[in-house]
Structure 1
Amino acid sequence: MTYPRRDRLRSPHLARACAVAAALAAITVPALPQASGATAAVPGGPLYVQSAVNGLNASDSGGSVALHRPKGNEDHQQWTAVAVPGGHELRSTDDATHCLGRSGAQAAIVACGGPSAVWQVTAADPGTYALGVPGTADRLALGAAPAGGVHPELPQIGADGPLARWYLTAAPLPRAAMPPADRRTLDQVTFLTAHNAYANGVDGGFAPPFVNFFPNQSRGIVQQLDDGVRGFMMDIHQTPDGAILCHDSCTLVSRPVALWVDVQRMVDFLKAHPGQFATVFLEDYVSADVLRSELARVNGLQDVLYRPDQDGVREHGWPRTADLAARGKQLMIFTDRTRAADSGGLTRDSFGVMYQQEWTVENYWSMGSGLGGSDWSCYSRWYGAGANVPLTREETAFHPLYVMNHFRDATIAGTATTDNSKLLNRIQNFCEPAARKKPNYVAVDRYDLGSPQSAVDQLNGYTVVP
């Protein structure tokens, strides 16, 4: 699936990005409780000082403290908490003489051992901390964000409150054994996911010619299902024939395929394989009426379609996979459209298509061009221009599913092989700590190269404990 923000060549989608940002701006971040004042137990070993508001990490940026996209320790983002008289020092793991401290009203890199390097670390539920200046009410905090903008990169010394909440995230995250198969919940499981699953050279649906030369996948949907792929990213565009699978535009499509055809393949597979579970992610350029009509053509869809909105998930958490299997609920469908975009008309969730931003978090997609070095930073695709859905988002009883993208602008077989072979490394050392959870969907190009399934198998052997 290629999202609007992924397009390098088509400026018309800037308007759509702005619309998404405006919708996200309406999402409010609940106020976090006041710090308890009690000195907290601080995680040992390397950790990230991570804003609970935007998920960005405090970094030693050339002698100043800046909030950067989570990037492992490639960007001097790891610290070690050391107990000292009056509190704790946060010492750089790259240079133990450098501490995350303060200079006047700003956070700063200071010499360890002095009073400006000491923080009083106090607990502030849920799972967050306040970093206070000893003997004062001052806290390490984000600067206020301008209307429609993002918080300043440089943290400051300010008042207690929601902007002064930080995760101290262990690097790597601690792990626990995966529960037995009959007890694990949906949010504990990881699924191999095919990016642009329809652009495979077997089922059709290619456009424009550029994509014909660099197909995202090389096997058809049926083979993908047989191979263990359980997540499917698909682009749909509206034509007189309905919701058609194609990239960018359907004008130059060769052998076009309708969405309902591939969804029917999935439903048929799931009915023949009880207990299996699959998910469709739509990059959605069609009207709600067209999408409803398209899905109505799929025989047996309602038998297997899972509706988390009707199952109390937001109140009670995700169900056990064994319970889903017993009920024959085997398929979820998400759209990247927002509820605000459907306001005043037919809503997609009224016929079982969930709004992805309400149920998931997702990292920005691109690791770079098809050749050359890669960018492994993990940060929300929904952050910026007024949007704020950090990868770390949690609710009291509800844990959003984490969709992790691991692919590039263009699919080149040799590069995809190398990237996919390094998938587990990126997940465990970069993206798990960035999100404070392991991914539930790992989306790759050319899943047949570089053994990404082996990485998914290892992820399904443990849970993480943030």
Structure 2
Amino acid sequence: MAALAQTIISGCVGAGSNRELQKALSALCMICCFVVGVECLCFNGSCQARSSSCLEEGNCGSGFQCQQCPARGILAPRCTRIRPTNPLSHVKSLPFNRYTWLTTHNSYAVQGMKDVGGVPRLSPSNQQDSILGQLQNGVRGLMLDMYDFEDDIWLCHSYGGHCHNFTAYQRAIDVLIEIRDFMRSNPEEIITLFIEDYVKVPQGLSRLFFEAGLNEFWFPVTRMPKYGVGDWPTVSNMIKRNQRLVVFTSKMNKEDSEGIAYQWTYVVENQYGDEGMRKGVCHNRQESYPMMVSLSLILMNHFPSLADYTGSCQHNSAELMQMMRTCYEAASSRVPNFIAVDFYKRSDGGGAPEAVDQANRQHLCRCWDAAHCKVLSLLPTRTISYNLHGIFP
């Protein structure tokens, strides 16, 4: 078995000589694409040609959406992916930091939400659907900006550390209850929250999570890698203990005062906004250690300073894939664990879901190419197990 394992891994990274084995494994992943001889996008066994045209949603399979991308000069509607492959449906035996998760920037800032107090909202929106819709489509990282507002804690897309009725979106507890209900209904899913924290009320955040009932899923700081270095527990262990909610705050003092992890002790993160989208450059944001520092988790931002619905289909396509490779090199050949974008459904084909799948392939067998990546589970003990169904098509 060890010899077979090494053969498959060698073939995966292009160094092996067992061509028949590699060919057999490749066929299992994207057989429909090999049959029709075109480049395909696949999700859970449903495949579409990358240029597959459509007239309405019903023309596309599960995990796809019919849309245009005028920013890329694509005016004819085509089927595009809106969901990544869930890596936990294939392997749960790896440490949490050996997976990549689709993450939404300003997850709460949803188009079409009702104004607060009848005052028109001036803040731009960054997503198309509700947080529940995002979770149902495989988003597992949520970026939430929390503020004191109207004697409560609200989600606001604001400025200057203060929330206003023209920048407010909704009460934080309402969103947290949605997350709680999703986690109760999906007992093997793990969710990570990145809180841009402007809450000044003492114990405000910890009380909020308790009132929302999310304490039942809380992953404690004491189980995180000391100083942010080293492996996390395996996801199977997190699921078994029901410690499936990982929460980070931007306020350092709250790790001691409220037991909420300070984000940049555990996460290196690239620059956000226009500066973070410069081609060929992936440097850290001011609060983060440099990308090359070996903290256990990596967050990759890829969205402009001003939300751009029309341009997002271009930002979330080839540009996103290129930036992922750039950040991979900047982080000493380490794959991002969280890929954060605006309008995650928008792309010219595979988009953010395909980027997440590529990253998970790299975690598992050091391949970017689906046709060469069939190893199911590479355990921390270096024991390898196989399942010949093919993963991350």
User: Normalising by structure 2, what TM-score?
Assistant: 0.62
Gaps of 5+ in 2: 1-87, 367-393
CA separation of 1:256 and 1:183: change in aligned 2, threshold 3 A: closer
Task: Report the counterpart of residue 286 of structure 2 in structure 1.
Answer: 382
In the alignment, the residues of structure 1 paired with residue 362 and residue 180 of structure 2 have an alpha-carbon distance, to the nearest angstrom, of: 29
Task: Report the counterpart of residue 359 of structure 1 in structure 2.
Answer: 266
User: When the two structures are aligned, how many residues end up with a matched partner?
Assistant: 265
- Structure 1 position 240 matched with structure 2 position 150: yes
CA deviations on 1:153-205 (whole Å, 9 max, x unpaired) are: xxxxxxxxxxxxxxxxxxxxxxxxx9x71321111100100100010035557
The residue identity in structure 2 corresponding to 1:274 is P
In the alignment, the residues of structure 2 paired with residue 416 and residue 265 of structure 1 have an alpha-carbon distance, to the nearest angstrom, of: 26
Aligned-residue offset at 1:221 = 0.7
In the alignment, the residues of structure 2 paired with residue 352 and residue 242 of structure 1 have an alpha-carbon distance, to the nearest angstrom, of: 20
Secondary structure in 2 matching 1:402: strand
Task: Report the counterpart of residue 314 of structure 2 in structure 1.
Answer: 418
Conserved in 2, the CA contact under 8 Å of 1:246 and 1:253?
no
The residue identity in structure 2 corresponding to 1:222 is L
CA deviations on 1:44-80 (whole Å, 9 max, x unpaired) are: xxxxxxxxxxxxxxxxxxxxxxxxxxxxxxxxxxxxx
CA separation of 1:283 and 1:316: change in aligned 2, threshold 3 A: closer
Secondary structure in 2 matching 1:217: coil
The residue identity in structure 2 corresponding to 1:237 is Y
CA separation of 1:217 and 1:428: change in aligned 2, threshold 3 A: closer
CA deviations on 1:231-250 (whole Å, 9 max, x unpaired) are: 11111111232211111142
In the alignment, the residues of structure 1 paired with residue 353 and residue 315 of structure 2 have an alpha-carbon distance, to the nearest angstrom, of: 13
Task: Report the counterpart of residue 311 of structure 1 in structure 2.
Answer: 223
- Structure 1 position 321 matched with structure 2 position 217: no
CA separation of 1:216 and 1:208: change in aligned 2, threshold 3 A: farther
Task: Report the counterpart of residue 455 of structure 1 in structure 2.
Answer: 355
Q: Which has the higher strand share?
A: 1
Larger Rg: 1
Aligned-residue offset at 1:260 = 1.7
Conserved in 1, the CA contact under 8 Å of 2:280 and 2:323?
no
CA deviations on 1:291-328 (whole Å, 9 max, x unpaired) are: 233222112x1211111x22252276211111111221
Conserved in 1, the CA contact under 8 Å of 2:108 and 2:169?
no
Gaps of 5+ in 1: 1-177, 340-346
Equivalent positions of 1:116-131 (< 5 A) are: none
Task: Report the counterpart of residue 131 of structure 2 in structure 1.
Answer: 221
CA deviations on 1:80-130 (whole Å, 9 max, x unpaired) are: xxxxxxxxxxxxxxxxxxxxxxxxxxxxxxxxxxxxxxxxxxxxxxxxxxx
CA separation of 1:379 and 1:205: change in aligned 2, threshold 3 A: farther
- Structure 1 position 196 matched with structure 2 position 106: yes
Aligned-residue offset at 1:435 = 1.2
Conserved in 2, the CA contact under 8 Å of 1:216 and 1:445?
yes
Conserved in 2, the CA contact under 8 Å of 1:204 and 1:254?
no
Secondary structure in 2 matching 1:443: strand
Task: Report the counterpart of residue 246 of structure 2 in structure 1.
Answer: 332
In the alignment, the residues of structure 2 paired with residue 438 and residue 364 of structure 1 have an alpha-carbon distance, to the nearest angstrom, of: 16
Which deviates more, 197-206 or 329-338? 197-206
CA separation of 1:256 and 1:427: change in aligned 2, threshold 3 A: closer
CA separation of 1:426 and 1:253: change in aligned 2, threshold 3 A: same
The percentage of counterpart residues that share the same residue type is 28
In the alignment, the residues of structure 1 paired with residue 152 and residue 216 of structure 2 have an alpha-carbon distance, to the nearest angstrom, of: 23
Aligned-residue offset at 1:434 = 0.7
Aligned-residue offset at 1:424 = 4.7
In the alignment, the residues of structure 1 paired with residue 216 and residue 282 of structure 2 have an alpha-carbon distance, to the nearest angstrom, of: 37
In the alignment, the residues of structure 2 paired with residue 358 and residue 182 of structure 1 have an alpha-carbon distance, to the nearest angstrom, of: 25
Conserved in 2, the CA contact under 8 Å of 1:366 and 1:407?
yes
Equivalent positions of 1:60-459 (< 5 A) are: 181-201=91-111, 209-211=121-123, 214-248=124-158, 249-253=162-166, 256-287=169-200, 288-299=202-213, 301-307=214-220, 309-311=221-223, 313-314=225-226, 317-339=231-253, 347-367=254-274, 374-382=278-286, 389-394=289-294, 399-436=295-332, 437-450=334-347, 451-459=351-359
Aligned-residue offset at 1:441 = 0.6
Task: Report the counterpart of residue 15 of structure 2 in structure 1.
Answer: none
User: Normalising by structure 1, what TM-score?
Assistant: 0.52
Task: Report the counterpart of residue 380 of structure 2 in structure 1.
Answer: none
CA separation of 1:205 and 1:429: change in aligned 2, threshold 3 A: farther
Higher relative contact order (CA 8 A, sep 6+): 2
Conserved in 2, the CA contact under 8 Å of 1:204 and 1:257?
no
In the alignment, the residues of structure 2 paired with residue 440 and residue 410 of structure 1 have an alpha-carbon distance, to the nearest angstrom, of: 24
In the alignment, the residues of structure 2 paired with residue 255 and residue 391 of structure 1 have an alpha-carbon distance, to the nearest angstrom, of: 33
The residue identity in structure 1 corresponding to 2:96 is L
CA separation of 1:268 and 1:351: change in aligned 2, threshold 3 A: farther
In the alignment, the residues of structure 1 paired with residue 357 and residue 324 of structure 2 have an alpha-carbon distance, to the nearest angstrom, of: 13
In the alignment, the residues of structure 2 paired with residue 312 and residue 454 of structure 1 have an alpha-carbon distance, to the nearest angstrom, of: 29
CA separation of 1:202 and 1:229: change in aligned 2, threshold 3 A: farther
CA separation of 1:274 and 1:432: change in aligned 2, threshold 3 A: same
CA separation of 1:281 and 1:452: change in aligned 2, threshold 3 A: same
Secondary structure in 2 matching 1:462: helix
The residue identity in structure 2 corresponding to 1:311 is R
Conserved in 2, the CA contact under 8 Å of 1:199 and 1:205?
no
